Amino acid sequence: MNERPARCNPNRPARIIAMARSGSEPVKLKFEIEIEAAIDDVWAAFDNPENLERWVRSFRSFTPLSGEPGQPGSTAEFVFEEKGRVVRTRATVTERRQPDFLASTYEAPQGSSLVVHHFEPVDDARTRWTSWWNFTFSGMMKYLSLFTASGIRRRIEGDMQRFKLMVESDLSEA
């Protein structure tokens, strides 16, 4: 995978810094954004499922299924609405290192994904969020993914930008 330098301008929105795709191989995306907030504040906002509806545009609901939510081994059902279609996905937290790392897998009829979030302090008041997404599609989605990859990229970039704005505005109001 070719990657551009890992520089991040805090005034720029989330941006894709790598994308790979080859035939029926998974779609692999990597994003980065800098947030004007300390890592503990960023983690607290990210780790709170009540915030999801504020920054994930397609989010509709979150239902814990097993384990302590957000902890390794826990599972939950997420419901999203994408262009009028309801998408249900089962998430499993695979690894967590508070306040800087969370990895989860997501299973849905359309396919599966591995998502890794890494938070790194830039300094005491800024945090860099890097997010890796590895999508493996099944059935017809293998073929349709050739046309939907750019939409997935735009959705993730928008969600990350809304998260940044949410955290920064919440801190400015405090």
CATH superfamily label, 15-173: START domain (3.30.530.20)
- Predicted pLDDT at 4: 38
Query: Which residue, 119, 126, 128, 122, is CA-closest to 171?
Result: 126
Structure confidence by residue, pLDDT tens digits, 34-68: 999 999 999 999 999 999 999 999 999 999 999 99
Per-residue pLDDT 10s for the chain (174 aa) are 444 333 444 455 555 555 555 446 788 899 999 999 999 999 999 999 999 999 999 999 999 999 999 999 999 999 999 889 999 999 999 999 999 999 999 999 888 999 999 999 999 999 999 999 998 887 766 656 556 677 888 999 999 999 999 999 999 887
pLDDT at 14: 58
For β-strands 111-123 and 85-97, DSSP reports them as unpaired
**What is the spatial distance between Cα 81 and Cα 118, in angstroms, rounded to a whole number?**
26
User: What integer pLDDT is reported at residue 25 of this predicted model?
Assistant: 72
- Supply 105's token pair: 């897998």
Angle at 43 between CA 83 and CA 158, to 5 degrees: 25
Domain range list for the chain: 15-173
